[in-house]
Structure 1
Amino acid sequence: MSEALYNTAILRLAASIPHQARLTAPQASVVKVSPVCGSRVTVDVDLDAQGRVVRFGQEVRACALGQASASLFGAHVIGRTPEELAAARDALAAYLKGDADTAGDWPGLELFAPARPHTARHGSIRLAFEAGAEAAALAARAAAA
């Protein structure tokens, strides 16, 4: 029997999202919205001189799957580079789509295995990773200018 889409682990993560406060004057901010369900994630990022995320804030208005994904993203984003965030975003998308057998090396993403056949849910799950990767890339470009 397959695991339930909204299982206890998903619901626990959804209830414990870290960094749930917007940053004051961040280096970059990005808003992503799922057109299917209306889930919305806003991400603020500051990078240090080495190009690693040093401060992170997020506002999450999403379904339980989007909230759980934002929880996993927020739990492991500090210290990551824009390239690492882009790789995590791409690995998650490939995993959900069925183009990869694993979700990459970001901790906890295998939790979304039950969502793989539910393509309408993929957008919400990807929101935090898409917003975070884009914000970090924007901050890096601004720092290089």
Structure 2
Amino acid sequence: MRFSIALLLVPLLAACTTAGGSTAPGASAPPPRTGTVRVPPTRPPAPPPTAGGAFIAPQVMNVPGLEGVIGSTVGDLQRQFGTARLDVYEGDARKLQFEGEACVLDVYLYPLRPGAEPTATYIDARRSSDALDVDRVACVRALRGR
């Protein structure tokens, strides 16, 4: 019997503790907080140290059919495709853009070791008309054949 009474009192006690935190009738709630909270600035984590300084060797694209482009220097690329429409430098990287009726070819050149001449390590290709991606090998062939 005592156990049954104790079980009946549990919900009542729970209601009292919940109600104890509420505001009594007629009393007003505390005003909402206003103002700004300042969050200290964060810094991105530093890149892991590399041997010999900040040089990071690029990944080189390996797609069958692009062997004559990947690994080429600026001079090699100009002999294959003519004068680049765009020639953009960013640090030790370089981007050349070649354009034909069929497609636009973006060639990204990076040095493979510190102080080395940049060579083509990656290419992108898209249609000239609507900028949708196209097959890189087909674009290279089309630009060589113009």
Larger Rg: 2
Structure 2 length as normaliser, TM-score?
0.26
Q: Which has the higher helix share?
A: 1
Greater relative contact order (Cα < 8 A, sep 6+): 1
Q: When you count strand as a share of all residues, which structure comes out higher?
A: 2
